[in-house]
Amino acid sequence: MNAFFAAAAAAFGAASCAFGAVEDPVEYIRGEIAAGRREIKVPKARYMLTPKEGETCYLELKGLNGVTIDFSGSELVGKVKTRMLTLVACTNLTLRNVMIDYADLPFTQARIEKADAEGNWDVRVIDGYPRPGETELMRDGDFWPVQVYDAETLELKNPMRYQKNIAITRTGEDTYRITGGGNRKGEVGDIAVWSVKEMSRKISGGAFVSHNCKGCTFENIVIFSTPAGSGFSGGISEFAADGNRYVRCALMRCPPQRDLAQRALRRLRSGNHDAFNSRESYKGPTLERCIFQYHCDDCVNISGRYAFVVEQKERTLRIAPYVGKVMIAPGDTCQLMTFDGKCLPDAKVVSVKDAGPTTDAERKLFESYNLWPGIAASAREAFTVELDADRELPPGSVIISNQRMGNGFVIRDCKMGHNRARGLLIKASDGLIEGNLLEGSEGHGIQIALEYGWMEGGCSKNIVVKDNVVRGNGGGIMVAGQNGARKPMPTDSHRNITITGNKISGSAPGIAVVGCTGLDVGGNIVELPADAKSGATALVNVADVRK
């Protein structure tokens, strides 16, 4: 048991129902709010919950200001695999001391009993885990992702088998056959893990999601599993946030001693998607002493959303934002990047006006940009944006507001990794990444990079990355990005990045930077692997380097 969980266990105590527990904590909280209570304390217990018919979230709180809700170390266990908590337009709310899990697990674990030369597997579900029926196996989006854990170490061995006609077929009461897909690494005895989606009703994604919340504090929120088949909102997600703080929050695999059921093998997965997302935030989050491990995608993703530039007439742009929602307001300063990655000087927005739906020709043009599936189709609405300065932005260029990408974030003293994808994926500015442990991620431990293919930005400036331990990941610390043309980012992309005092091991190079002006990479310790084919540091298109 790690130090974080030992402390949490001491604070939360036993998970069994305690004397004085209320019958329904959701109705209890609603009643206390209706009565005007500012300090709400839920009696400690393990609560087995079912959302009301037609509701896709167990507890939704709207418009609270200055309220504290203390769950006293309670465990909220959902009987339906849908979102546990939604917060909307709350200010200075404090929510603390709660564990979240699901009675019917949103994933299953099966041991590989046969593996042929083509990488097809015959598997048997391990006692204590769900046995999904045909309806849960009809589409790969319902069971994404299929992963494999090593039989001996119980660590991630195959981060994702997906796409390329992947299929899971039920062959018996507890046996299945897995075929197709890329990355078929897995041997007899290894454990295949895949998601199990709720099919009894419509669901909402993510375990804990907030929208338009400001100055809120979340302490000791521990999540052991998350709903499946719900897009890319994973354990904790915030949208349009403004300076929220997360202290000792976790998405982690459940220790056997706290599990809800007897299982022949401990849980190997925590969440089915990202651990923490902050998207389109006015001010980025503060994460302190958090743990995000053993989930299926990035540990932390802080980003804004680009909009396509369709055409330009002098200082007026016709734009089409990802997901059809404009996230640019008059008075905002915006980053501007051409399709081939040229970063133009920022410009201020004078006006934003609705311009109706995008045309078939425009959406076809978006499809030609080699984006992640579904993104081009999501750019359904067009807007006109007037800038305060002349800029040359051919079709395929992108625009993003500096006020809506999570600038001002802090990530300190956290422990993350043992996951598919990246440890930290940062697309914001004016941030601090300090004193964290990033270990066992498939991708880079720390990646500061925009992604045109996901329509996520932007370029970063004024970031300090110091005193972190980055070990055993697919890469060390990277500052780079992906433009539309998939060319190396130019020198004027990122600005004023400090990477110092870090200990990096297990990857070569330890530090890679592509496209930056103003870089300090002094004082790091890099231990290269024995088979390293590059040095400790690799710099491309970098100016004003201070070592």
> pLDDT of 101-160, one tens digit each?
999 999 999 999 999 999 999 999 999 999 999 999 998 888 999 999 999 999 999 999
Q: Compute how many other C-beta atoms are within 10 angstroms of the C-beta atom of residue 282.
A: 17
pLDDT score, position 1 = 39
- How far apart (Å, rounded) are the C-alpha atoms in residues 512 and 149? 29
Total of domains in the chain: 4
Within this chain, do residues 452 and 494 fall inside the same structural domain, yes or no? yes
Q: Compute how many other C-beta atoms are within 10 angstroms of the C-beta atom of residue 247.
A: 15
Task: Say which CATH number the domain at 354 has.
Answer: 2.40.10.170
pLDDT score, position 228 = 85
| Chosen domain end from 297, 328, 362 | 297
Within this chain, do residues 148 and 242 fall inside the same structural domain, yes or no? no
Within this chain, do residues 472 and 539 fall inside the same structural domain, yes or no? yes
Within this chain, do residues 96 and 207 fall inside the same structural domain, yes or no? yes
| Chosen domain end from 195, 228, 259 | 195
Instruction: Give yes or no for a cis peptide into 529 (omega within 30° of 0).
Output: no
- Which residues neighbour 116 within 8 Å (Cβ) at sequence distance 6 or greater? none
pLDDT score, position 546 = 87
Within this chain, do residues 445 and 540 fall inside the same structural domain, yes or no? yes
pLDDT score, position 342 = 96
pLDDT in tens, 254-266: 999 999 999 999 9
Output DSSP code: residue 134. Answer: G
pLDDT in tens, 478-504: 999 999 999 999 999 999 999 999 999
Total length of the chain: 547
Within this chain, do residues 140 and 85 fall inside the same structural domain, yes or no? no
Within this chain, do residues 120 and 189 fall inside the same structural domain, yes or no? yes
Q: If you search the block for the tokens 């719900």, which residue do you land on?
A: 230
| Chosen domain end from 154, 172, 195 | 195
Within this chain, do residues 320 and 171 fall inside the same structural domain, yes or no? no
The greatest distance separating any two alpha carbons of the chain, rounded to the nearest whole angstrom, comes to: 70
Q: Domain residues for 171?
A: 107-195
Output DSSP code: residue 242. Answer: B
Within this chain, do residues 82 and 130 fall inside the same structural domain, yes or no? no
Here the tokens at position 149 are: 């854990």
Per-residue pLDDT of the chain (547 residues; tens, 9 = 90+): 355 445 554 445 544 444 578 999 999 999 999 999 999 999 999 999 999 999 999 999 999 999 999 999 999 999 999 999 999 999 999 999 999 999 999 999 999 999 999 999 999 999 999 999 999 999 888 899 999 999 999 999 999 998 899 999 999 999 999 999 999 999 999 999 999 999 999 999 899 999 999 999 999 999 999 998 654 457 999 999 999 999 999 999 999 999 999 999 999 999 999 999 999 999 999 999 999 999 999 999 999 999 999 999 999 999 999 888 999 999 999 999 999 999 999 999 999 999 999 999 999 999 999 999 899 999 999 999 999 999 999 999 999 999 999 999 999 999 999 999 999 999 999 999 999 999 999 999 999 999 999 999 999 999 999 999 999 999 999 999 999 999 999 999 999 999 999 999 999 999 999 999 999 999 999 999 999 988 999 999 999 998 7
pLDDT score, position 234 = 78
Please give the span between the terminal C-alpha atoms of the chain, in angstroms, as a whole number.
39
pLDDT score, position 10 = 47
Output DSSP code: residue 330. Answer: T
Structural contact between residues 462 and 430, judged by C-beta atoms closer than 8 angstroms = yes
- How far apart (Å, rounded) are the C-alpha atoms in residues 325 and 305? 10
Instruction: Return the SS3 of 74.
Output: strand
- How far apart (Å, rounded) are the C-alpha atoms in residues 266 and 258? 11
Output DSSP code: residue 65. Answer: B
Output DSSP code: residue 86. Answer: E
- How far apart (Å, rounded) are the C-alpha atoms in residues 410 and 454? 23
Q: Which pTM was predicted?
A: 0.96
Structural contact between residues 311 and 298, judged by C-beta atoms closer than 8 angstroms = no
Within this chain, do residues 111 and 92 fall inside the same structural domain, yes or no? no
- How far apart (Å, rounded) are the C-alpha atoms in residues 132 and 174? 9
Within this chain, do residues 91 and 223 fall inside the same structural domain, yes or no? yes
Task: Say which CATH number the domain at 16 has.
Answer: 2.160.20
Instruction: Return the SS3 of 153.
Output: coil
Structural contact between residues 226 and 106, judged by C-beta atoms closer than 8 angstroms = yes
Within this chain, do residues 183 and 213 fall inside the same structural domain, yes or no? no
pLDDT score, position 11 = 45
